[in-house]
Each structure stands twice: as structure tokens, then as C-alpha cells.
Amino acid sequence: MNESASVSPHRTPGKPEISESFTASFGSDPSALWSAPGRVNLIGEHVDYNGGPVMPFAIQHRCYVAAAANDDGVIRLRSKQFPNEAVSVALADLATGAAYSHTREVQAQRFAGWASYVLGVIWALEQVGVHVPPVDVLVDGHVPVGAGLSSSAALECAAVGAFCDIAGVGIDGPQRATIAQRAENDFVGVPCGLMDQMASTCARADHALLFDTYDQRIEQIPLAASAAGYEFLVVDTGAAHGLVDGEYASRRAACEEAARTLRVKLLREVADRGPDESAALVAGIADATLRRRARHVVSEILRVSTAAEALKAADWPRLGALMTASHNSLRDDFEVSSPQLDTAVEALLSSGALGARLTGAGFGGSVVALIETSRLETAVSAVRTSFAAAGFKAPTASLAVASQGARREPLAR
């Protein structure tokens, strides 16, 4: 790709010199170093907390957590991305085994921003009997923050691995994902499903992760788009999304209310009745808002299953059409899109993308598109032109490469 292209060509961003930075920050060497990736969700948005299947893949952008125990009784946190936000917390403030309401009160008063995700992991590990001693922690990486690519899950999952190493405890990937989710749910206060943490922890390179949240089954599906002449392009709209603002929680509450209206525990149970019966059941919901929310969830669950079949068959046009249908449903029925997201999708489709959709919870963030490699430059140019015409901040674009999940990294010697 030539230099005039607006697509970042970096398929494998370089590993930061985090061990050296740790030593400079704390005066000692780290004893544990883990990394975990962000993710792109191909399809299956807002269905993980409804018992539905999702199909993300981990991306090449990773978060790194270096840590070492100390003798000071204090947790000290530093981030290369937020150098002016050093945090020091007495371990006793987290290790009390206190209830959710207490920890949220403490967190809200003292642990704002990125640090809450790290401290939440220490708290969540304590809840399952894993004692993490006082630690020094340095965070670095290159998962874009606020872009809908799960920078928070990457941070949590890298932290779980590092802290388990320090505690001398070995647990498998799904368990680490569940602990990371508990940190985000019960400490940070975001009622997210398990998709992001499972993708960040359990994904394989060159595969999509088909994760059925209903029965916790995982299937690794080969993702060979490049070999077929296609790429997954991610456009970061620059409109940062926020999940702790009530919108995510309100969508989840609406889904729970719709399920109660239909006399099921989860909307997945409605989707399992097939497209015709499920559509008829959803159409019978009297409240228009609940009806739209349920219609998105049920139709999206069915789309994920069809998309998995398309991917296994390398039917790229079919996969693309399902991605676009997913975006339309998120825009019209779930109402989590934004003018920037819609503008990006429209520009990508008009310039030849097989499919495009918002990825992540919405309300801002990024779009993922399936597009022929030969059309990348034209597509990115079209998006930038459309954004300029609408008066939006210039977007950024990069390729998304299916990458390995959380892993232990070698320490510098």
C-alpha cells in the first residue's frame, strides 16, 4: 500500500519496551508480564447478555501489563498512556471482601478511569480466593481507547494473567475471562456480557471465535480473508463511546423486560424457535420500544449462526450482506448507532465494501468493513471525504488482523 493511502499498514505493531520502563518507574524489575489484545466483533452485537452467540476475533493491537510484588503494602499503578494519573492504593482498601456497593463507593471516590479496571481485577481475584499481594504495575500498549475495540477487556485480561503469575496460581482462559468480566461488572460498574473478555483471552491467530454465551461453547473458525483477496478494515470514527453513561444499561434492562414479557429467561430462547415463530412472538410485544429491542436481538442471533456458516464456506459476499443487515438493525431497532458510524458505513458500502457495520456497543467508536484489498484506498478516501463534508473530525483507518489471545510475554534480561 503506498504512502498516499490512509490505511495504517501496521499488521503487527511493535512490542513496547515495558520491562525497561517498569524498572525506570519503580526501581526494580518486573516479575510478570502479560499481554492481551483488543477485539473486533464481526457480528453478534448486544446478544451476549441475552444468551446469544457472538463471532469476534482478536486484533493485533495489544495491552501489556508488567507487575511485581512489593513490601510496602500499597498497590502502585502507572500507565504510559496516562503518565499524569499515577495511582497508589492501600491493599486493605481492596482486600476486605466487601460487597459490591462498598467497593463501588470506594472506587467512585478514588479509582477513576483506567486504574479501576486494574484494581477491579485484584478485587475480583480476591473474591474467588486468589490473593494478590501488594504490587507495582505498569500498563502500556496500543489498543485505541474509546474506539469500541475493547481496550478495557484487553487491560483486564492482561492484568489477570500477570496477577495470577505473581500469586502462583494457574487458571485456564475461560476462567480468566470470567474473572475479568466480574471486575468490569461488579467493580467498574459496566454490566457487560462475556464476549469481549473471551475474545481477548481465548482467540487464536487467523481465526474467528464463535462463542455461544448460552452454553459457553467455543468454536475456532479459520479466517482466511487475505488469502481470498479481502481485508477487514476498521474505521475509528473518532467519536469516543462511553458505556458507563446509562445507555448500555438501559438497553440491557429493555432486553430483560422484553424477555419477561415473552415469559422466557433470555431472548435466546425465542430465537431458538426459528425465524418465523420468533418473529411472530416478537411482533406481539405491545410496547414499541421493547418490540424493537427484542427484534434486533432475536434477528441478530439468527444472523450470527448464518454468518458462521458463510465464513466456513468462505462465502464472503454472504458474510458481508449479513454484516450490513446487522448494522441496519443496530441503527433502527436497537438505536445505538451515531451519525459518524452511519456516515462511515454508507461511504464504505458506496465504495465497494461487501459489508460494513458498527463494532462494539455503539454510541460512537468504530466500524468494521469487509472489502477487497484492491479497493482499500478508494474506500478510505471516500470515508474521509464524507466525514469532511459532514463537518466531522477526520477518521483513522487500519487493517484488522486476527491475532492470538492473552499470553505470557518474555521478560527482558
Q: Residues 307-336: pLDDT tens digits?
A: 999 999 999 999 999 999 999 999 999 999
CA–CA dist 294, 281 (Å, integer): 10
Boundaries of every domain in the chain: 7-219, 223-400
Q: Is the pLDDT of residue 102 over 80?
A: no
Q: Out of 102-106, 182-186, 363-367, which region has the weakest mean confidence (pLDDT)?
A: 102-106
CA–CA dist 232, 241 (Å, integer): 21
Q: What is the pLDDT of residue 228?
A: 95
CA–CA dist 325, 300 (Å, integer): 9
Residues designated catalytic = 196
Strands 396-400 and 7-8: parallel
Q: Comparing 7-219 with 223-400, is the CATH topology the same?
A: no
Secondary structure string (H, E, C) spanning the chain:
CCCCCCEECCCCCCCCCHHHHHHHHHCCCCCEEEEEEEEEEEECCCCHHHCCEEEEEEEEEEEEEEEEECCCCEEEEEECCCCCCCEEEEHHHCCCCCCHHHHHHHHHHHCCCHHHHHHHHHHHHHHCCCCCCCEEEEEEECCCCCCCCCHHHHHHHHHHHHHHHHHCCCCCHHHHHHHHHHHHHHHHCCCCCCHHHHHHHHCCCCEEEEEECCCCEEEEEECCCHHHCEEEEEEECCCCCCCCCCHHHHHHHHHHHHHHHCCCCCCHHHHCCCHHHHHHHHHCCCCHHHHHHHHHHHHHHHHHHHHHHHHHCCCHHHHHHHHHHHHHHHHHCCCCCCHHHHHHHHHHHHCCCCEEEEECCCCCCEEEEEEEHHHHHHHHHHHHHHHHHHCCCCCEEEEECCCCCCEECCCCC
| Residue 85 vs residues 142, 202, 336: alpha-carbon distances, Å | 18, 30, 31
CA–CA dist 34, 163 (Å, integer): 9
Q: Are 287 and 280 in contact (CB under 8 A)?
A: no
CATH number, span 223-400: 3.30.70.890
Q: What is the pLDDT of residue 101?
A: 37
Locus of grid cell 450470527: 304
pTM above 0.85, yes or no: yes
**pLDDT for 40-56, tens place per residue?**
999 999 999 999 999 99
| CATH of the structural domain 7-219, one choice from 3.40.50.2000, 3.40.50.720, 3.30.70.20, 3.30.230.10 | 3.30.230.10
CA–CA dist 413, 400 (Å, integer): 31
End-to-end CA distance of the chain: 36
**pLDDT for 297-306, tens place per residue?**
999 999 999 9
What is the radius of gyration, based on Cα positions, of the chain? 21
| Residue 202 vs residues 208, 334, 385: alpha-carbon distances, Å | 10, 28, 38
Q: Is the pLDDT of residue 164 over 50?
A: yes
* Higher per-residue pLDDT: 100 or 229: 229
Q: Is the pLDDT of residue 111 over 80?
A: no
Number of Cβ atoms within 10 Å of the Cβ of 305: 17
* Distance from the Cα of residue 25 to its chain's centroid: 29
**pLDDT for 332-342, tens place per residue?**
999 999 999 99
